[in-house]
Amino acid sequence: MRLIDATQYKLPPAAWVSILHRASGIIMFLLLPFIIWMFDTSLTSDITYSQFTSVFIGGIGFLPAWLIKLVTLALIWAYLHHFVAGLRHLWMDATHAVTKEFGRISALVTLGVSIVLTLALGFKLFF
């Protein structure tokens, strides 16, 4: 099979949750310095705290504020999706809930909850 053939597959919801769990993990891994930078500047002192908030208003260096917010929104989604998909894993591990139907419904709930919460927090971030 060629790689292009794999794009012909229609992914069921559980497969979307699975690949997005992986993608969100990689996103957060790569953005770790940004996360720790936020942790650092927001906590170190009240001066760095105001520098931290000003980055979300006026940007930093050549990076505009909207781009910082967009990256932050991607992080919010990645965290929420990874979190809820992880709870789904733990639930399945603990209860051995391995029916096809539960897999489908819980996958749809995972996708839905993370997207709705991302939209809500994104609204708070941008407006």
Partner 1 sequence: MTTPNYGSKRVVVGAHYGLRDWLAQRVTAVLMALFTLVVIVQVLLPGPMGYDKWAGIFNPQWMRVLSFVTIVSLLYHVWVGMRDVLMDYVAQVGPRLVLQVAVIAWLVGCAGWAIQVLWRM
**Which stretches of the chain bind partner 1, using CB under 8 A?**
22, 25-26, 28-29, 32-33, 36, 39-40, 42-46, 49-50, 83, 86-87, 89-90, 93
> How far is the C-alpha of 86 from the C-alpha of 20, rounded, in Å?
11
**Is 24 in contact with 82 (CB distance < 8 Å)?**
yes
Is 63 strand, coil or helix?
A: strand
Residue count of the chain: 127
**How many CB atoms are located within 10 Å of the residue 72 CB?**
19
Question: From the CB of 94, what's the least distance to partner 1, in Å?
Answer: 10
Q: How far apart are the first and last CA of the chain?
A: 47
User: Would you say 45 or 99 has its CB closer to partner 1?
Assistant: 45
User: Would you say 63 or 87 has its CB closer to partner 1?
Assistant: 87
**What is the identity of the amino acid at 59?**
G
User: Would you say 36 or 63 has its CB closer to partner 1?
Assistant: 36
Question: From the CB of 126, what's the least distance to partner 1, in Å?
Answer: 17
Question: From the CB of 26, what's the least distance to partner 1, in Å?
Answer: 7
